[in-house]
Amino acid sequence: MHIAAVSDIHTRSGGLDDALLEAIRNRVTDSQPDVFIVAGDLSEKLDDLNLALSRIKVEDCINLYVAGNHDIWFEEDIGIGSLEKYSRLIQEKCEENGFIHLPNAPFIQDDMAIVGSIGWYDYSFRRADLDIPIENYETKQYRDSYWRDLYCVDWTFTDQEATDLLNDKLKYDLDTLPNKVKKIIYVSHHLPFRNLTLYKDRLPWDFFSAFMGAESTGEILLKDERIRLAISGHSHVRTKLQLDDLLAITVPVGYGRPEEDRLDSFADSAVAELRIDDNGVEIIHFVEGDICEDLDYSF
């Protein structure tokens, strides 16, 4: 299976990123993948997410989506909440635009399955040496800084409850796969492994690292020998990690836009290409680091 993947495009309203979406779609189309994966955070507005899905869909391949935390931010002005977006509305927009929303059900082809989840965080990525009380993580605030999910996600679960629920759904999806499945790709927005997180020895960056993912999710993946590849986003810093037979990779774009004459090269940096077969996972094309570093992002 030949895979192209990207995440965290964070499209701006009003068609400001149509050219970028077209450049990414063209880059993926040129690579002729079997599967195109978008690992969340297209937009915090459902209408903009719908438009972005229509712009980025690639013909002649399977298009897969996993919602990110920004995608499920509630929209008070039109009366829709986070749980409704994640459990129903994003699925509907995916179907309308030729995408499969993986958290709804795994995609299975021959002996390969692709399983997806938004993932979540339970503060297990926090730096204990910072001696920040757990209450600060629970309230998502430290000094003058705050994690925006505090004000933008309105489901009633605690973060630990959300992590447990989503992990239970992941275990269910893995346990109920057909016997013919021998290889699994896991796609999430949040990170499944702590070592994918970049710590900078400065605040509030390292405080925010606690909201990148959950170690318990990674433990589930490592217990299933069929899982060969984990693709995620969220961190805005692209990195990879090899854990025995499992390759974990992050594919975010992030906040930042190049000049118009650099869109094609930027799209090339944004799209990761991989191939998975009986011999393992091969990285065909992958640019590490923050590809938006020093680029402006304006509305």
DSSP state of 211: G
Strands (DSSP E) along 7-106, which ranges? 35-38, 62-65, 99-101
For residues 173 and 166, what is the distance between their CA atoms, to the nearest angstrom?
11
Main-chain dihedrals φ then ψ at residue 173, nearest 5 degrees: -60, -40
Domains of the chain: 2-285 (3.60.21.10)
- 3-state DSSP call for residue 161? helix
Give ∠ CA 236-200-12 in degrees, rounded to 5.
Answer: 25
Closest CA to 7 of 254, 197, 247, 192: 254
N-terminal to C-terminal alpha carbon distance within the chain: 38
DSSP state of 90: H
Q: Which tokens sit at 279?
A: 């011999």
pLDDT of residue 299: 55
For residues 47 and 50, what is the distance between their CA atoms, to the nearest angstrom?
5
Buried b (16+ CB within 10 A) or exposed e, 203-238: eeebbbbbbbbbebbbebbeebebbbbbbbbbbbbb
Q: What is the pTM (predicted TM-score) of this model?
A: 0.96
Per-residue pLDDT of the chain (299 residues; tens, 9 = 90+): 999 999 999 999 999 999 999 999 999 999 999 999 999 999 999 999 999 999 999 999 999 999 999 999 999 999 999 999 999 999 999 999 999 999 999 999 999 999 999 999 999 999 999 999 999 999 999 999 999 999 999 999 999 999 999 999 999 999 999 999 999 999 999 999 999 999 999 999 999 999 999 999 999 999 999 999 999 999 999 999 999 999 999 999 999 999 999 999 999 999 999 999 999 999 999 999 999 998 988 65
pLDDT of residue 296: 87
Q: Could you tell me if 81 and 71 are in contact, meaning their C-beta atoms sit under 8 angstroms apart? A: no
For residues 234 and 254, what is the distance between their CA atoms, to the nearest angstrom?
8
For residues 252 and 196, what is the distance between their CA atoms, to the nearest angstrom?
12
Q: Which amino acid is at 179?
A: N
Q: Which tokens sit at 49?
A: 């997410």
Partners of residue 242 on adjacent β-strands: 247
pLDDT of residue 160: 98
pLDDT of residue 297: 80
